Amino acid sequence: MTTLDSILVRFDPDSDWREARWLVCDADGALGSERRDALETIAAECAGRPIIGLLPGAAVLATRAALPRASRDKRLQALPYALEDQLAADPETLHFALGRERDDGSCEVEIVARELIESVLARCRSADLTLAALHADAACIAPKPGDLQVWIDGDDMHVRHPDGRRQTLPAQDLLAAVRLTGIETQTDGVLGLRVYGDAIEAPTTLATLDVAGGVKYSPLDTGALAWLARQRTLAAPVDLLQGAFARPSGWSAVDWTRWRATAVAAGALALISLGVGADDFRRNRALEREVDAALLDAGRNLLPQGTDPADAASLLRGRVRSLPPVTTATLGVPAAAAVLATAMPSRATPGGATADQLRISKLETAGAGVRVTLDAANLGALEALKNSLRAKAWRLDLGETRQNGERLTVEGLLTKPERRS
């Protein structure tokens, strides 16, 4: 998975929201096959990737509302009053999410029971699974000009109109449900009907419909979630994480696993640029201040508002220490920088290379390892680095050295050999 990949998670109400179907996707849609796991498993396997949650479309009402020109917060406050005639439940028990403003001035609105979204988010917190966004699954169906789209999902039939309107109807009597959409009596252009799902009887059942644009049925051979992943890139569904459920703006809103890549690289490369090793760092407070400055430069924008500047560096160092150990397999260049920082010769390495005898000029990912470009005073300095890395269970394979003035330049590949049982 690349850093651009996200995880699409469709929560399962039958498991009391403890399990979900999920897959890996990128901007173009699904990358992997669909799986079903407990939320704890998903959280562990997908750490550091944006996780997009999907709720059952039948549980989320989609509508539109005419709202006054105001800030987003004030519009959210006005929603219960603007939709009062459409609500069958006490507005206090409902959660309202605001979508895009349309050309006619109305806004897309989605409504879900507050208790339901609280239950799902509580399960996520218990599993240590943080959501980047939460949508109704049916909201991921992208509108298609000229077509009425129908997704048959078990007992539910989700309808997406060409103008973006969405509705959910019972699918037990499929023909009657489709006729309720008014497609046979529409007068606003010629509409076709596109049906997606796994209802084998659909082609025969819908053959009697009088649809000017024809009926086309498409079974979802790769699964509904993979189809929704592709559709979502075009649909721009409403994010339900608004208002009381909006993502926090402090520490917990930050993807620390991903930020640590920057932080480790900044701190470790600061050590390398100073030509010091781990022992020097532990002994010298001045060096610690240099690395703190690098961490602050990498993470100052992630600090919660109101953080005392005097506490900032220690807070960031604490966040780095609280995360899992780094390896080249998980973090590439930043991990290599951290490893090399501890293996580089210090200013006082008895019998070894001195700091000015060895410098690192370039780091870049290369397959399962990291390619390192070194500048050395002599072959002994290179051999000392290889021995130091070998003692830490890392391997550095060096290529042919090139003379560069009075110094040597060489490229090498840093890897972490697998342990043999």
> Please, what are the averages of pLDDT over each run of 10 residues along the chain (421 residues)?
69 94 81 89 84 94 83 78 80 88 82 94 91 93 89 91 88 82 70 81 76 84 89 86 74 46 50 44 48 55 56 58 45 59 52 58 72 86 87 85 88 74 45
Paired with 197 in beta bridges are 152, 219
pLDDT score, position 251? 44
pLDDT of residue 299: 54
SS (H, E, C) the chain: CCCCCEEEEEECHHHCCCEEEEEEEECCEECCCCEEEEHHHHHHHCCCCCEEEEECHHHEEEEEEECCCCCHHHHHHHHHHHCHHHCCCCHHHEEEEEEEECCCCEEEEEEEEHHHHHHHHHHHHHCCCCCCEEEEHHHHCCCCCCEEEEEEECCEEEEECCCCCEEEEECCCHHHHHHHCCCCCCCCCCCEEEEEECCCCHHHHHHHCCCCCCEEEEECCCCHHHHHHHHHHHHCCCCCCCHHHCCCCCHHHCCHHHHHHHHHHHHHHHHHHHCCCHHHHHHCHHHHHHHHHHHHHHHHHHCCCCCCHHHHHHHHHHHHHHCCCCCHHHHCHHHHHHHHHHHCCCCCCCCCCCHHHEEEEEEEEECCEEEEEEEECCHHHHHHHHHHHHHCCCEEEECCCEEECCEEEEEEEEECCCCCC
In contact, 163 and 148? CB cutoff 8 Å: no
> 92 to each of 89, 102, 121, 349, 420, how far by Cα in Å?
8, 27, 18, 69, 60
The pLDDT score that the predictor gives to residue 327 is 45
Confidence at residue 247, expressed as pLDDT on a 0 to 100 scale: 72
Q: What is the pLDDT of residue 114?
A: 92
Contacts with 212 (C-beta within 8 Å, 6 or more apart), sequence order: 190, 191, 192
pLDDT of residue 314: 59
